[in-house]
Amino acid sequence: MNALAARRRHPAVLTVLLLVALVATGCAYAAFAPKPAQAATADADQVAQGKKLFQANCATCHGLNGEGTKTGTGDQIAGPPLAGVGAAAVDFQVGTGRMPMAAPGVQAAQGVKGAQFTQTQIDQLAAYVASLGPGPAIPAAADYDYSNADAAKGGELFRVNCAMCHNFAGSGGALTRGKYAPSLATVSPKHIYEILNTGSQAMPVFNDTNLSPDSKREIIAYIKTIHTEPSPGGLKLGSMGPVSEGLFAWVFGLALLIGFAVWLGNKSA
Amino acid sequence: MSDHDTPGGEVARTDGEFGATAVRLDEGHVIGDGGLPDRFENPGLEPHQQRMSDQSEAGAKRAEKQVAALFSLSIIGTIVFVVAYFALDAHAYVFIPGIGDMDYSNAVLGTALAFSLLGIGLGAVHWAKTLMPDEEIVEMRHPMRSSDAARQGVVDTMLDGAEGSQINRRPLIKYTLGGALGLFAIPLGLQLVGGLGPLPKNGLSLTYWNGPIGPDGKPHFKPLRLMRDPENTAIKVSDVTVGSVFHVQPEGLLDMDSGVLEAKAKASVLLMRLPPDTITSRKEIAWGHDGIVAYSKICTHVGCPVGLYEQNTHHLLCPCHQSTFDVTDDCRVIFGPAKRPLPQLKIAVDDEGYLIATQPFREAVGPSFWERGSA
């Protein structure tokens, strides 16, 4: 105890105390945070259950019947109409935690805690939205099974169709006015397949006549390959290209050079 | 400000607010020397501080061992490098904390080479700082000028040589030598200018949409289909749903014998479908088909591919310098360094339902160039 008391004025004390407090708060939150409710009975009529979920969680912006709403300030869209977006769009938006949106903003970001509903609830919501108008359906597991797809061909397609926004290695990048293309590292094959078919926010649609189902599987194979391949050179620095690599070289390389220059210039006695 | 018109103003009132000791600027001023001496004295060298290795033989011995240890570190690094080069599997991976998985052989070779080089450098510097003499000394400047006799000797030698070569008596040699040396510079300059390549002629104004080059060396226009890049398949108008974006190259481009990439770099096109009522430019509507519009993908700033299409805002963003084009208004520049809108390609639908270009670009695509005429 005396050793602790003696060090209470050490410059690192503030940092250490802050870290301890932050970790403790985080653990307490994780322990006491409310958990999402479990799914309703699977026997219930999916569409009816989906409508209930929709009216409780989505109707504020998308309207009570999914007709969409505008904000009070002119023609700005608060929530787009949902007739015809299809079950795939719901499965993607809700399944990645983008919807329900935490707060209005330029972009609905991927949920940090993942989906806020169980897959059963998402399926119910999707069934309800699909009943509003025909749209892309949720793909079957065989549709996005990329085990036999040609990753090299997928790379060619990716560089023409995807790389300008999502970066050559799928690390994401900036768009206009605060929007951005997210990193693709953790997106599941099903969600990649869905968003190609439906588009989302700034991302255009790549329907089956633009990128055939085979091409989509090849693109998924490419994304999964580059994110599972080890890096022979070690640290990838986010695969961001010259910006992060240059920053690393300037900060650490230059610091090392300055350190040696100071040592060389010091008098030895 | 002041009741008295005094040349120096006043820094404090003398009426007692700051006490009687406050002094006006123009009173009590003594012209001093600012503390500068008339003449700077040479301060001489600081007293020399002896190092541990100067003071005792044991200290010197320790420094010697340290330097030898650093050089030995380099030797070990080199040996490890050579052994690892042959012994290690070049495709094995190892987890290194703070770095992650990396190639085992790369990690060992790199670390060994770092010690091998660093050991030599550190050893040499440590040697110089501990054992080599570090007595401060002063070296006085000495005159640079050679003696008069030596200078005259050089001049005499030169003149003797010129006289012996008879260059002044034989002007034919003098002038032909001058001509030969002068002309010799021409090939050097010629390579430099010639290496810049042929003159562009009208190549920058034409794209593959002007039609394939005929036997007469001129393009012959015919309506070309819009093909998917990289699949090179034709695009049906029904394929292009609202919110879609297609990356397009002209039909027949890949059949060219040479210069495919150069031609593609000028002819690349972005095909988008917008809800028709969002388009405000009448020319854009007329040159498109039911909300389907085709624009050059080459930025008018410095020619990067403008590929970042946001389907909700209908903005086209260039990744190089953030030039932003508004696709609803004929690709007008709304942000960034580009000065001209992207050129539109006029499209229509042929008998079989495929999209075709009914005329070439009406202006040169891409960045400005000298012969372009209007900026």
Q: pLDDT tens across A15-49, in order?
A: 888 888 888 888 777 776 655 443 333 345 888 88
A163 inside domain:
yes
A223 inside domain:
yes
The beta-carbon neighbor of B243 closest among A204, A209, A263 is: A204
State which residues form the domain around A62: 39-137
What is the rounded distance in angstroms from the CA atom of residue B218 to the CA atom of residue B210?
A: 10
Residues A132 and A152 in one domain: no
Give which of B312, B350, B306, B311 is closest to B324, Cα–Cα: B306
Q: How far is CA B266 from CA A103, B38, B187, B345, B366, in A?
A: 43, 75, 34, 13, 7
A177 within 8 A of B245, measured Cβ to Cβ: no
> Given an 8 Å threshold on Cβ–Cβ distance, is B244 in contact with A205?
yes
Residues A49 and A121 in one domain: yes
pLDDT score for A268: 75
**Residue-wise pLDDT tens digits, B54-102:** 889 999 999 999 999 999 999 999 999 999 999 998 888 888 888 888 8
Residues A133 and A43 in one domain: yes
Residues A61 and A76 in one domain: yes
A252 inside domain:
no
Interface with A, mutate which of B310, B321, B322 (most A CBs under 10 A)? B310
B331 within 8 A of B342, measured Cβ to Cβ: yes
Annotated binding residue A227: no
Residue found by looking up tokens 């999402």 in the block: A36
The beta-carbon neighbor of A176 closest among B49, B238, B315 is: B315
Q: HSE, CB side, 13 Å, CA atoms: give it for residue B300.
A: 24
* CA distance to partner chain B, nearest, from residue A170 (Å): 14
* CA distance to partner chain B, nearest, from residue A208 (Å): 8
CB atoms within 10 A of CB B269: 27
Residues A87 and A149 in one domain: no
Q: Is B106 exposed, middle or buried (0-12, 13-18, 19+ CB in 10 A)?
A: middle
> Given an 8 Å threshold on Cβ–Cβ distance, is B311 in contact with A204?
yes
Strand positions, DSSP E, chain B: 93-96, 100-103, 224-228, 245-250, 269-273, 292-296, 308-310, 315-317, 324-326, 332-335, 344-345, 347-349, 355-357
What is the rounded distance in angstroms from the CA atom of residue B233 to the CA atom of residue B226?
A: 8
> Given an 8 Å threshold on Cβ–Cβ distance, is B307 in contact with A157?
no
Annotated binding residue A166: yes
Going by the DSSP 8-state scheme, the letter that residue A253 receives in this structure is I
Annotated binding residue A27: no
A1 inside domain:
no
B311 within 8 A of A202, measured Cβ to Cβ: yes
**Pairwise pLDDT comparison (A76 vs A64), residue with the higher score:** A64
State which H helix or E strand residue A268 sits in.
none
A148 inside domain:
yes
Which two structure tokens, joined as six digits, stand for A87? Answer: 């079950």
The beta-carbon neighbor of B308 closest among A164, A236, A268 is: A164
Annotated binding residue A165: yes
Residues A118 and A176 in one domain: no
Residues A119 and A48 in one domain: yes
What is the rounded distance in angstroms from the CA atom of residue B101 to the CA atom of residue B94?
A: 5
The beta-carbon neighbor of B99 closest among A156, A173, A234 is: A234
A242 inside domain:
no
| Helix axes A213-228 and A151-161, enclosed angle (nearest 10) | 100
Confirm or reject contact between A262 and chain B (CB < 8 A): no
Q: Which residues in chain B have Cβ-Cβ distances shorter than 8 Å to A267?
A: 49, 134
Domain C-terminal end among A137, A167, A195:
A137
Q: Phi/psi of residue A66, each to 5°?
A: 70, 20
What is the rounded distance in angstroms from the CA atom of residue A127 to the CA atom of residue A86?
A: 9
3 state SS of A232: coil
Task: Using a pLDDT cut of 70, give the percent of chain A over it.
Answer: 91
What is the rounded distance in angstroms from the CA atom of residue B260 to the CA atom of residue B253?
A: 7
pTM higher than the cut 0.95: no
Instruction: Say yes or no: ipTM exceeds 0.85.
Output: no
Residues A115 and A162 in one domain: no
Residues A165 and A184 in one domain: yes
Domain C-terminal end among A137, A152, A171:
A137
A158 inside domain:
yes
pLDDT score for B81: 97
Residues A131 and A143 in one domain: no
Q: HSE, CB side, 13 Å, CA atoms: give it for residue B113.
A: 9
Residues A163 and A103 in one domain: no
Task: Using a pLDDT cut of 70, give the percent of chain B over it.
Answer: 91
| Long-range CB contacts for residues B224-227, cutoff 8 Å, separation at least 24 | B224/B250, B224/B251, B224/B252, B224/B356, B224/B357, B225/B250, B225/B251, B225/B350, B225/B354, B225/B355, B225/B356, B226/B250, B226/B251, B226/B269, B226/B271, B226/B294, B226/B347, B226/B354, B226/B355, B226/B356, B226/B357, B227/B251, B227/B253
3 state SS of B247: strand
Number of domains in chain A: 2
Angle at A140 between CA A135 and CA A142, to 5 degrees: 140
Residue A255 has pLDDT above 80, yes or no: yes
Q: How far is CA B273 from CA B16, B133, B229, in A?
A: 85, 80, 17
Domain C-terminal end among A137, A155, A181:
A137
Sheet holding B245-250, edge to edge: B344-345, B292-296, B269-273, B245-250, B224-228, B355-357, B347-349
What is the rounded distance in angstroms from the CA atom of residue B205 to the CA atom of residue B371?
A: 9
What is the rounded distance in angstroms from the CA atom of residue A143 to the CA atom of residue B319?
A: 32
List the CATH number of the domain containing A92: 1.10.760.10
* CA distance to partner chain B, nearest, from residue A252 (Å): 15
**What string of pLDDT tens digits covers the 375 residues of chain B?**
444 444 444 444 445 455 556 666 667 666 777 777 788 888 888 888 888 888 899 999 999 999 999 999 999 999 999 999 999 988 888 888 888 888 999 999 999 999 999 999 999 999 999 999 888 888 888 889 999 999 999 999 999 999 999 988 899 999 999 999 999 999 999 999 988 888 777 888 899 999 988 888 888 999 999 999 888 999 999 999 988 999 999 999 998 888 899 999 999 999 999 999 999 999 999 999 999 999 999 999 999 999 899 988 899 999 889 999 999 999 999 999 999 999 999 999 999 999 999 999 999 999 988 878 655
A259 inside domain:
no
Which two structure tokens, joined as six digits, stand for A237? Answer: 């620095």
3-state helix, strand, coil in chain B (%, to 5): 35, 15, 50
Could you tell me which residues come within 8 angstroms of residue A235 by beta carbon, excluding any fewer than 6 positions away? B99, B100, B102
Residues A43 and A126 in one domain: yes
